[in-house]
Structure 1
Amino acid sequence: MSAEGLERQTRNYLSNNIPQIQEHGGHFEIEDVNDNTGDVTVAIGGACSGCGIAPMTIKAIEQRLPTEIEGVSNVTVRRAGGPRAAVMPSKIEVMEDMEEYEDYDPPF
């Protein structure tokens, strides 16, 4: 499959299966797609830059894209930076220790 095809499928998957990114004021951008290796790089930004549970969203994207899109073997997701990015500390370590998040599986 071409890089354009993988990029289109990745964009469609994120738009259709992880609408919380956009619903909560965030956005995503496909930064790089290598059709030879299956490597995909995605940046999330907007409200995601300041969200304490963005690491859980990142983890979900990195785990699910390779299983959902044929030709994708490795996904790297990063928070988009920039002068207007309000970055908050990650809450994932605290959440992982909380009993109510023991079996947490994001609904996306």
Structure 2
Amino acid sequence: MSAESLERRTRNYLSSSVPQIQDHGGNFQIEDVDEESGEITVAIGGACSGCGIAPMTMRAIERRLPEEVDEVTRVTVRRTSGPRAAVMPDKTEEMETMEEYQDYEPPF
């Protein structure tokens, strides 16, 4: 399997299975593909840079991408920020203690 093919499969997965990133004004970029180890680095940005629940999305991508793309062994997701990014505080821990979010899973 070539790195290009692995990158394409990763991009296809993110585009089709995580459409809310783009639907909500965010974007993703595959920054690195290590063909031999199966490690992928993905950056999310745009509206994701300032989103308080982006960490939940990031964790879901890190957990689910290796389940969906066979050759992927490890995923690192990071937020990018531009000069105008106003990053909201991470709401993940607070949301995890709220009853209405106890069974929350991102919808992908």
| TM tier relative to shorter chain | over 0.9
| Corresponding letter in the other structure for 1:23 | D
**In the alignment, which residue of structure 2 is the partner of 1:39?**
39
How far the C-alpha of 1:21 sits from its partner, in A, is 0.3
Identity, % of aligned pairs?
71
User: Is there any run of 5+ residues in structure 2 with no aligned partner, and where?
Assistant: none
Residue aligned with 1:21, SS:
helix
**In the alignment, which residue of structure 2 is the partner of 1:5?**
5
1:10-29 map, 5 Å = 10-29=10-29
**In the alignment, which residue of structure 2 is the partner of 1:58?**
58
Correspondence 1:91 to 2:91: yes
Correspondence 1:72 to 2:81: no
How far the C-alpha of 1:69 sits from its partner, in A, is 0.1
| Corresponding letter in the other structure for 1:77 | V
How far the C-alpha of 1:60 sits from its partner, in A, is 0.7
User: Is there any run of 5+ residues in structure 1 with no aligned partner, and where?
Assistant: none
Q: Could you give the per-residue CA deviations for residues 83-104 of structure 1, whole angstroms, max 9, x where no partner exists?
A: 1222111000100111111111
Normalized against structure 1, the TM-score is what?
0.97
Cα contact 1:66–1:72 (8 A) shared by 2: yes
**In the alignment, which residue of structure 2 is the partner of 1:48?**
48
Q: How many residues align?
A: 108
Normalized against structure 2, the TM-score is what?
0.97
How far the C-alpha of 1:82 sits from its partner, in A, is 2.6
How far the C-alpha of 1:34 sits from its partner, in A, is 0.2
